[in-house]
Amino acid sequence: MRHARRRIVQRGARIAAVGGLLCGGLMVTQAMASEPSAASRAPESAVQAAAKKGAGLVSTLGASRTAGSWIAADGSPVVAVTDSDAAAEVKDAGARPKVVDHSMQELKSATKSLSSAPRVAGTAWAMDYTNNEVVVQADSTVSASDWSRLTKLADSLGGSVRMERTEGTFTTRLNAAQPMFSTAGRCSAGFNVTNGRNEFILTAGHCGPAGSVWFGDNQGAQQLGQTVSKSFPGGDFSLIQYTNGQNDTTNNVVSIGGGKGVEIIGSADPTVGQRIFRSGSTSGLRDGKVTALNATVNYPEGTVTGLIETTVCAEPGDSGGPMFSEGIALGVTSGGNGDCKTGGTTFFQPITKAMTALNVKLTGPGAQGQGAAGAAAQASPAPSSAASQGAAIAPGSTTPGSVQAVGESDTILSRLTDTKNIGPGLLVIAGSIIALVATRFIRTEQDRNRYRRQYSQSWG
């Protein structure tokens, strides 16, 4: 009777082990099938598709027949054209034409004349595609004589330039998603990038000279790294090399406060009219709209060109922080005027230009999605698992991206037990194999012992 029960138990163990093998194999198969590919990580949103269509039409028609493109409030691409034939081509292509007086060539000529004039700190200009003009802003520090001289220059350019006084002062936002401290001041970490050998923080160039040592706390106990490359003025970007390397380069997450972050899945150039988000340690997560590209700002420290002009607010301490939309890295905070109580204009260094100049790329999924179709990145090395990503339909419905918790532990055990990975399936398979081997070993030992008993009984 005892032997019969033992055989039943052994048979049940073998059946369970075989079932475990089948179950584990199924878990591994499902995990591998659900693993997102590089192409599926960054699906093209409606905003990106509209931007691509508008930019393509501008490129096809040329600078003498167009004057830029933007995204309308309903999410449709709009292209400024100078003649009816170009308008017809735009309409046939599924975009909305707007006939204007000045071509892109004329607008560029106007900005060239402004750049050639004597520099006036406290001024900025950019092309306003929607109103077909170059807008020159002058802050409160610009004297009456300088204002008069700039106004005369604008009048001589044939009506393509509009002068505008603005409150506050245009300053760099020195002093982010996560704060960084050095003897040069306080800035925000932007995006994690790599050159294939080392990992870096990409942030604003005005944050400090090459050689600046950065800390994650104002007591100087947590050293982050050292500035190894910078561009300012001219551009506004720099690289901070991590002191001891980076713990995890598989993710790139932007902190947005409240223990949450947004996963960065690629990088791109923004489009006029696009809704964007900015994160900084001073003012947190804020949103606004892109109003102009290729802006020039005459900071007190020097002139920076090629910037993105936006309506999002920023305050001292937000410098270098990330700008992003739908998980796509767009730029790092440069400077502006106003604050988050009264509003203002904020300028950003385009991420694509900075990475090209520095010969780096985003870490994590963003490394697979660089370029015009391709996101915002980790403010500090504290990634975690991703959540779902919102899809954009119109600029007003655009989301920051895939929101997730930050600061969770990412041990080998947690990865193995994550049901979205193949780890649990492999553990089940390994356990089943061990169970099969154990039951077979026990059966073999029992047969051997039975034979020995029978042999001793037979031969005494």
Catalytic residues: 206, 236, 319
Q: How far apart are CA 193 and CA 366, in angstroms?
A: 9
For residues 17, 18, 24 and 26, what is the CA-based torsion angle, rounded to 10 degrees?
Answer: -160
Backbone angles phi, psi at 128, to 5 degrees: -95, 95
For residues 142, 148, 154 and 155, what is the CA-based torsion angle, rounded to 10 degrees?
Answer: 160
DSSP letter string over 413-439?
Answer: HHHHH-TTSSHHHHHHHHHHHHHHHHH
C-beta of residue 137 within 8 angstroms of C-beta of residue 127: no
Cβ atoms within 10 A of the Cβ of 173, count?
A: 28
Backbone angles phi, psi at 80, to 5 degrees: -80, 125
DSSP letter string over 292-330?
Answer: EEEEEEEETTEEEEEEEEES----TT-TT-EEEETTEEE
Q: Print burial letters for 347-367: b (CB count within 10 Å at least 16), e (below 16).
A: bbbbbbbbbeebebbbbbbbb
Q: Cβ contacts of residue 380 below 8 Å, gap of 6+?
A: 177, 178, 189, 216, 255
Which residues are paired to 320 by β-bridges? none
Q: How many helices (H) does the chain have, and how many strands (E)?
A: 9, 25
Tokens representing 363 are: 């870490």
Cβ atoms within 10 A of the Cβ of 442, count?
A: 14
Q: Cβ contacts of residue 31 below 8 Å, gap of 6+?
A: 419, 420, 421, 422, 424, 425
Per the omega criterion (within 30 degrees of 0), is the bond before 424 cis? no
Q: How far apart are CA 356 and CA 379, in angstroms?
A: 20
